[in-house]
Structure 1
Amino acid sequence: MNTTISSKPQIYLLHYAGGDKNSFRPLIENLQSYFQIETPELPGRGERMSEPFLENKQTAVGDLLVQIKQTRKKNVPYIIYGHSMGAILGLEICQIMENNGDAPKYFIPTGFPGPKIKKNLPISELPRTDFFAEVRKLGGLSDEVMEIEELLDFFEPLLRADFGLLENNENRTFNGKIQTPIYAVMGKDEQYALNIRNWQNYTTAGCECQIVKGNHFFINQHFNYLAQIIKNAMDTATAKSNNYLYHD
């Protein structure tokens, strides 16, 4: 007897450093007819502006996990997507969700080559001018924003907190492998783009990697394409599940 799932699959969008739950609006517009969109948000921004920033990776993972578990729907398949900081945290979240018996169908990291590759010097404690010079290299803030001191005043504490979270010496290095398939994407102009195949070292399932035109924030020019990758990943996972369930 065939079983049907009445609910759309879920997707969790994990924001990048300096981002919030609204960071992926164009992507959400492309996905909302297909997925139930979930946008967990770390403290110190958006609807959680009054809450203090978190200080290390472990507390950030724990905070996001609470939000994910609150919104997970039983027996509904889901995907975890994360860009940059979201990809770093998302990998650990996948592992924990697997250990809890609720593995995602796919993990889709963008803007990050996987663990043990990036060797950037810490920037969260740099003087203001040097700090924003490093942020500017990533392409996350437009030239217009960079020229308006009031906007820099707004973004500076948030960006410093998020980079500090990732740079904290208390952070544990990810070891082991997840059992979830990975589809990784990076921009051609990113410093570590050619290391993207590193992701295959962190999953026992399939791993696909792609490099597209653009810098660290290539997603701003490729939301339509990224949405198609995500939809195709869920279609592939669903087809595999159906073949497994109904194969004679």
Structure 2
Amino acid sequence: MNTPKSLPPQIFLLHYAGGDQNSFRPLIESLKSHFQIETPELPGRGDRIAEPFLKNKEEAVAEILKQIKQTRQKHTPYLIYGHSMGAILGFEICHALEKEGDGPVYFVPTGYPGPGIKDKAPIATLPRTAFFAEVRKLGGLSDEVMEYEELLDFFEPVLRADFGLLEHRSNQIPDITIQTPIFAVMGKDEEYARSIRNWEKYTNAGCECQILNGNHFFINQNFNYLSQVIINLMTAAMAK
């Protein structure tokens, strides 16, 4: 690839439900000397806390896509990484960018086995106790957070909005296949980890799958591994 030496490749980090642009700080620290790092953020959290939440997946894909286009440096190779909700949105974003002739060199989804696998009852509208019980099963909230009502008050509206966005009745399972190679990773204790090779059906390029120790938030103990994977993938792609 003909890439200006002054411009490192870009990486777009797509946050999970309840997350924001600061969700991947350890990963950013490991990658910042190798990539130009972009952290798109949905409204209703972080720097956009005063903005209204989005209603469905289509709106979220369009919003993240808009932010990516605003910071994309054409002719600079880039990679998309997303965890959980970020992986769900990232898949459709890859497809949209490919249609415009500007697809990423790799898509790295974590914490998600690909479209059409998960089959769980919606949780966004559950009563507070039941809702947080379901969220806790994912490993997303520590025991310390669960002990403080004021922290739960802070996280509850964002989490409910994001789960509601993903569970909205207008959402469709995407009937698409991307041309971008995939490197998918899940935690061994995740409910759908054994279905991770489902991703092979959704790319016409290469697909590699890894399962690491941990639950849905295995990434918190594996940022060094993930950063090295991402660096290696981009290095190999740029060497072609």
What is the TM-score with the length of structure 1 in the denominator?
0.95
Q: Which residue of 1 aligns with 2:7?
A: 7
Q: Where in structure 2 are the equivalents of 1:60-139 lying within 5 Å?
A: 60-139=60-139
Q: Which residue of 2 aligns with 1:140?
A: 140
**Please, what is the CA RMSD of the aligned residues?**
0.9
Larger radius of gyration: 1
- Indicate conservation of the 8 Å contact 1:5/1:76, yes or no: no
Q: Secondary structure at the match of 2:33?
A: coil
Q: Which residue of 2 aligns with 1:196?
A: 196
Q: Which runs of 5+ in 1 are unaligned?
A: 241-248
CA distance in 2, matches of 1:35, 1:3: 13
Size of the aligned set, in residue pairs, is 239
Cα shift at 1:239: 1.9
Cα shift at 1:212: 0.3
Is the counterpart of residue 166 in structure 1 residue 166 in structure 2? yes
Cα shift at 1:238: 1.1
CA distance in 1, matches of 2:3, 2:119: 48
Q: Which residue of 2 aligns with 1:235?
A: 235
Q: Alignment identity in percent? A: 72
Cα shift at 1:4: 4.3
Give CA deviations for 1:183-242 in whole Å, capped at 9, x if unaligned.
0000000000000000000000000000000000000000000000101110121122xx
CA distance in 2, matches of 1:226, 1:40: 19
CA distance in 2, matches of 1:4, 1:219: 32
Cα shift at 1:3: 6.4
Q: Which amino acid aligns with 2:52?
A: P
What is the TM-score with the length of structure 2 in the denominator?
0.98
Q: Where in structure 2 are the equivalents of 1:17-36 lying within 5 Å?
A: 17-36=17-36
CA distance in 1, matches of 2:167, 2:3: 46
Give CA deviations for 1:112-168 in whole Å, capped at 9, x if unaligned.
000000011100000000000000001111100001000000100100000000000
Is the counterpart of residue 187 in structure 1 residue 184 in structure 2? no
CA distance in 1, matches of 2:239, 2:181: 14
Structure 1: 4+ residue segments shifted above 4 A: none
Q: Secondary structure at the match of 1:79?
A: strand
After TM superposition, the structure 1 stretch with the greater mean CA deviation from structure 2, 147-156 or 168-177, is 168-177
Q: Secondary structure at the match of 1:65?
A: helix
Cα shift at 1:74: 1.4
Q: Which residue of 2 aligns with 1:47?
A: 47
Q: Which amino acid aligns with 1:128?
A: R
Q: Which amino acid aligns with 1:232?
A: N
- Indicate conservation of the 8 Å contact 2:42/2:63, yes or no: yes
CA distance in 2, matches of 1:132, 1:3: 47
